[in-house]
Structures are given as C-alpha cells and as structure tokens.
Amino acid sequence: MNITNVKVTEVGPRDGFQSEKTILKTEDKISIINDLIVAGFPRIEVSSFVSPKAIPQLADAEMILSGVNRSSTTTLAALVPNARGALRAVEANLDEIVVFLSASESHNKKNVNRSVNESLVGFGEIADIAGKNNIPVQGDIATAFGCPFEGNISTKSLADISKEYKSMGFKGVTLGDTTGMATPPVVADAIKAIRDKVPDLGITLHFHNTRGVGLANVMSGLYQGITDYESCFGGMGGCPFAPNATGNICSEDLIYLLHEMGIETGIDLDKLISIAQKVEGLVGHKLPGQVMRAGHRLLSYSMDDVPTAIGA
C-alpha cells in the first residue's frame, strides 16, 4: 500500500454536535476544540455557518471561532451553505470554507432546500467571496455512496460535480457517506470515476459507520492511495435531515487502526481517548466508540481484577 502518512480531520464539533438533541454550552465546545488542537489534529471542522433554524446546535459558530486558541498547525474549517454564511465566515476569520451539496436531488432539497444545480450556482457566489478574502474552499458531496431516498448514486454524477468544483478553484472534494451506504467496492468505483475525469483534484473520504463497515471502507480508500479522512470522536455524528443517520467512523478507532498499520497521523491517541471520554460526560449518554473503552491492545491488567472460573 506504501502509505506512511494520513491526514485526519476531526468533524466532531460539527457533525457530532449537530446530531445531539442537547445543545452543548459554547465554553464546553471551545474547551473540546482546544483539546483537539493540542492532541495534534491538522484540520478540525469546528461548526457551520448555516441557518440557526436548521441547526440550532451550531448557532454559536462566531463565538467558537473567536474563543478557541488558534494554532498555525491546525486548519479550522466550517460548513457554509450560501453567500450569507460565507460573509459570516469571513467576519469570523475562518481558515477554510466547506461548501456542501448532496449528489441526490431529494437529499439536497431536504438539507438545503434547493436543487443540485441551484447549489452549484450559489457556490459560485461563495467562491467569489472566499477568493477575495484568500480563504480556500473545499467541496463536499453528501450522499455520495448512496441516498436513503434515491438509492444508488451514479459515479458519473460524482465526477461531474467534482469537475465543477475544480473549475471553481476548490482545493479538493470530500465524498460524504451521509447514511453509511458505502461498501469497499462502491468506494473504489467512486474514486476511480473522479480520478478518470479530474485527475488532479484531491479526494477526502468521510464515512459513517451505520452498517458497521466504516473502517473497511477506509481500508478500501487506503488501497486506492487516498490519504485524507474525516472522523468523529466517540463515533458520534449524523445529519438531522436524513433517515437513520448514525455516527461517523470513530476518530480513536481510526487513529488506532492507522497507527497499528505503521501510518503516522501526528495525533496523540491517549489525548484523543480522554477527549472522547470528556465528550461522553458532556452529552450524558454512551458513545459507540470502542477504543475509548478498551484502550490499546497491549494494555495489561492485573489478574486480581477478574474472577477465576472455578466450577460451574
């Protein structure tokens, strides 16, 4: 496979917190983001500059940006749906704008109340604002590996949208598996179609573990040479405007896998486990992450800690 380094984006403060019924306190979010920066994440999605009516959980995006300890080694990114969001992002001194649409018309309508074409036209306005302010733009495609309303997504549409992104000067495309419909061969086909049409556009993969094959999909991406992934602490996450949207692939589980494969991420796994445990305390319910509970594989226990099976 020959991959020695992978860039992992933590999307918890955006994808994770948007999916929680409880709205976390701004100061707690800031503290978590500061911890993520110290843990070594090169990129964090910190919030969304969307309508607070759509996602009230992220209504404090400006306060988050002004409250966190900026670091030259961590890019702070956020979702932006329209020109209004782009102006808010500029004002908040955001490092990177992430625009998003869904490959399927029906999910795009649910999520941003417009057609895919209307989204693309709107991205032109966002790109202008970003360009004038020297802010790079990343383009997400949600429901890239399947839509809960429309089923399979054609790889041609992924390639066509990616080409539009490239022509608008975006730095790369992120393929989002909104409701966990990706499987390893579906991932490989999507990557191939985009590379064939837009060979020089970077691809990032964003999986949800809805059907338990999230890390298998990462393996598929790695075998295709993809070195950019997105994940969420504790395996939280999900889009409120898609049925059965469950958590992202879990950051600790992903980092554990990558490190065990000899792939560097620059992220301190112990610090990340502590962050996931802290978030679990803040949201007040069990998170699906596994490494945050089991720890490293060579963690050793005292034999006195477990009973001995004697007799029946």
User: Residues in the site for ligand COA, rule: CB under 6 A?
Assistant: 18, 48-55, 79, 81-82, 84-85, 88, 111-113, 142, 239, 241
Q: Count how many Cα atoms sit within 13 Å of the Cα of residue 19 in the half-sphere of its side chain.
A: 25
If binding is defined by CB under 5 A, does position 15 make contact with Zn ion?
yes
Q: What is the DSSP string of 226-278?
A: --EEEEBGGG----TTSTT--PBPBHHHHHHHHHHTT-B----HHHHHHHHHH
Q: Is 60 in the site for Zn ion (CB under 5 A)?
A: no
Task: Give the shortest CB-294-to-ligand COA separation in angstroms.
Answer: 30
How far apart CA 159 and CA 34 sit, in angstroms, is: 36
Nearest to 37 by CA among 76, 83, 85: 76
Tell me, yes or no, if 239 is annotated catalytic: yes
**Which is closer to Zn ion, CB of 74 or CB of 231?**
231
Q: Which does 132 bind (CB under 5 to 8 A by kind): ligand COA, Zn ion, none?
A: none
Using CB under 5 A as the binding rule, whether residue 140 contacts Zn ion is answered as: no
From 111, 86, 87, select the one nearest 243 (Cα to Cα).
111
Task: Specify the residue, 15 or 252, whose C-beta has the smaller distance to Zn ion.
Answer: 15
Residue nearest to Zn ion (CB): 15
Min separation Cβ 272 and ligand COA, Å: 23
Count of residues of this chain found to bind Zn ion when the rule CB under 5 A is applied: 1
The Cα 50–Cα 80 span in angstroms is 6
Closer to Zn ion by Cβ: residue 11 or 137? 11
Cα-trace Rg, the chain: 19
- Which C-beta is closer to ligand COA: that of 91 or that of 270? 91
State the greatest distance between any 2 C-alpha atoms of the chain, in Å, as a whole number. 76
List the catalytic residues. Answer: 239
Binding-site ranges for Zn ion (CB under 5 A): 15
